[in-house]
Amino acid sequence: MLNIPVAVLLLTLAGIAAVREVVRRVRVRRRIAAGTRELEDNALVTLTGTVHPLAPLLTAPVTGASCVAHRTQARVYDPNARHQGRPPVTTHTRTELIRFELRCAAGNVLVEGDRVEIDMRLREIKRRYVAREQAFLEGTGLPYHPDSVTCDQAVVAPGQIVTVHGVARVEAVPTSTVETGFREVATAMRIIGDARHPLVITDV
């Protein structure tokens, strides 16, 4: 059983983490609301459309769900406080993204980036996937026991309607036509994310 000072400390840390998450989500929502719907080069844009994958699908690490992006989180608890409304001792989160096309009113827009925030509700994974949970925590140095770990995930699936916020890139791309043999210019549209302006993907 946890002693009182340790329990108070853990509850305090859990409260701080919860406040930070609320503040993060408020900031993300403000960024999404501030984005323009017009695709202008280097503008911060917010577009809504349907997801179409352009690369082999990802596999969500715990459930094995096929997706273009996911945010998976494991919460590790003190096993001695399993049924005491205990706060997590630590949390391990992984977010991944593959290139996909957003089919929207502005056209077909490529979405890609090194940094992405998936601003969707994390849903607790009720079913136990012991081997996958162990693999997910492997290398983190965190202990694993089925009674002391819970996992959540949010996935972005092919065909899902989502809202994407990021930096627009509108580029001229030379193309050749079969009929004339002349080179013409098409427009390639992308939304990207980087360290300064991460991509944000959220539910509609």
Is residue 191 a part of any domain in this protein? yes
Is residue 149 a part of any domain in this protein? no
- How much is the pTM? 0.77
Is residue 22 a part of any domain in this protein? yes
Q: What is the pLDDT of residues 49-104, one digit of tens each?
A: 999 999 999 999 999 999 999 999 998 887 665 556 666 778 899 999 999 999 99
How many domains does the chain fold into? 1
Is residue 142 a part of any domain in this protein? no
Residues 161-186: what's their mean pLDDT?
73
51: DSSP letter: E
Output the domain CATH number for residue 112.
2.40.50
Helix, strand, or coil (residue 45): strand
Is residue 163 within 8 Å of 51, Cβ to Cβ? Answer: no
Boundaries of domain holding 38: 4-68+95-122+154-203
